[in-house]
């Protein structure tokens, strides 16, 4: 049976209008001074800040009114007209980090870096650039919006098309990257979805395919529970000699800040399950482009700038590189290389399910 009335029957009840407040719909708005686009259907609402990296700052499960993504104390805000008193050596990413889901390109990592004469701050270019957008489809059965950006210090054009279909609690993402320069360029590429309360809480379970956990000694935060090692997911050695299970989310009283890297994933997928609410988040991706997964967990244990002990979050980030430094990634052949005018495409899907 068709989800919608026949055209003539529908006309008996609904006046002619280009706007809808049912089924799939798109809302354009100005929020905190930023152009934003919201895609939603009966199951989920996804809001994107076009003027700030095309960040996904809302991923809401509508039946339970549950936000899945992290929201920091800074919140979403536009860059101020006045300059800061001093520029940070690692760049401005954290000054404007509202949580949510960023695209990291053409560099991903916490350090400033340089390549081909261009300098990059933390997590590269596109997360702080304004993106343009175009509405491709706007019908009750399906909506589609393409967000686009041209990088400033590198010669790339990136398109991200986001799709929702009627009644489906799933966001489809299709990406198309082109090198518009006349020389080959090496780069890093990642997605940075970070999850927080009320979805994320003690007892949440992380499900991954069989893989290897790598903890880099050079990347251990001061309050990490971990030591440098390679082990099989999910068990790792802790500083105190105990075995820690990375698949179990600890509570905020843990006061820890842990960073690990996964490799050897046979397929790109993970799930985060909340046994209490029975809500789960699922992400699938093509691990040909993103063969690694970064694991960033903070249980109110990151102190000093920019967190000051306030954040409780988990980020699971599909990534092109095992290493968070561009130069090391190049040396270890962990970058993607794109020839002049060459293009690559990839797809991801983020979805929500609820049992019971």
pLDDT value, residue 92: 79
Percent of the chain surpassing pLDDT 70: 93
pLDDT value, residue 326: 74
pLDDT value, residue 1: 40
pLDDT value, residue 327: 79
- The mean per-residue pLDDT over the stretch 17-39 comes to 90
pLDDT value, residue 12: 64
What does the pLDDT look like over 43-73, one tens digit per residue? 999 999 999 999 999 999 999 999 999 999 9
What does the pLDDT look like over 156-212, one tens digit per residue? 999 999 999 999 999 999 999 999 999 999 999 999 999 999 999 999 999 999 999
- The mean per-residue pLDDT over the stretch 224-241 comes to 97
Residue 100 three-state SS:
coil
pLDDT value, residue 261: 96
pLDDT value, residue 340: 96
Residue ranges of domains in the chain: 21-354
Residue 81 has pLDDT above 70, yes or no: no
Percent of the chain surpassing pLDDT 90: 75
Using a 10 angstrom Cβ sphere, with 0-12 exposed, 13-18 middle and 19 or more buried, the burial of residue 148 is middle
Residue 315 CB partners (closer than 8 Å, separation 6+): 70, 192, 193, 194, 195, 294, 295, 296, 297
pLDDT value, residue 2: 47
- Where helices occur in 284-351 by DSSP H, the ranges are 326-331
Q: What is the mean pLDDT of the chain?
A: 91
Polymer length in residues for the chain: 356
**What's the CA dihedral at 330, 334, 340, 341 to 10 degrees?**
-150
Q: Which of 119-128, 153-162, 233-242, 266-275 has the lowest mean pLDDT?
A: 119-128
pLDDT value, residue 16: 57
Q: Cα(first)–Cα(last) distance of the chain, in Å?
A: 26
CATH (residue range 21-354): 2.70.98.10
- Where helices occur in 187-238 by DSSP H, the ranges are none
């Amino acid at each position: 049976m068709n989800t919608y009335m026949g055209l003539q029957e529908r006309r008996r009840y609904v006046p002619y209008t280009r706007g809808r407040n049912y089924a799939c719909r798109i809302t354009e708005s100005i929020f905190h001074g930023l152009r934003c686009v919201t895609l939603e259907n009966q199951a989920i609402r996804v809001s994107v800040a076009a003027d700030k990296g095309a960040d996904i700052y809302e991923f809401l499960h509508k039946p339970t009114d549950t936000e899945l993504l992290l929201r920091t104390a800074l919140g979403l805000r536009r860059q101020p007209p006045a300059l800061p008193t001093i520029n940070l050596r690692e760049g401005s990413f954290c000054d404007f980090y509202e949580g949510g889901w960023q695209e990291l390109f053409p560099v991903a990592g916490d350090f400033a870096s340089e390549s081909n004469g261009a300098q990059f701050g933390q997590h590269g270019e596109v997360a702080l650039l304004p993106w343009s957008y175009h509405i491709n489809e706007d019908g009750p059965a399906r909506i589609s919006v393409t967000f686009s950006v041209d990088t400033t210090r590198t010669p790339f054009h990136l398109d991200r098309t986001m799709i929702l279909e009627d009644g489906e609690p799933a966001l489809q993402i299709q990406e198309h990257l082109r090198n518009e320069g006349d020389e080959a360029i090496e780069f890093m590429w990642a997605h940075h979805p970070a999850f927080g309360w009320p979805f994320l809480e003690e007892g949440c379970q992380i499900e991954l395919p069989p893989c290897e956990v790598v903890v880099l000694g050079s990347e251990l935060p001061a309050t990490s529970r971990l030591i440098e090692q390679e082990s099989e997911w999910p068990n790792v050695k802790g500083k105190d000699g105990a075995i820690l299970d990375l698949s179990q989310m600890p509570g905020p009283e843990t006061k820890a800040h842990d960073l690990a890297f996964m490799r050897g994933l046979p397929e790109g997928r993970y799930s985060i399950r909340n046994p209490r609410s029975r809500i789960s988040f699922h992400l699938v991706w093509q691990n040909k482009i993103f063969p690694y997964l970064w694991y960033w967990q903070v249980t109110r244990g990151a102190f000093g700038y920019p967190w000051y002990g306030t954040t409780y979050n988990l980020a699971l980030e599909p990534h092109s590189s095992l290493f968070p430094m561009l130069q090391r990634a190049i040396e270890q052949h962990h970058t993607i290389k794109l020839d002049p005018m060459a293009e690559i495409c990839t797809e991801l899907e983020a979805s929500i399910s609820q049992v019971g």
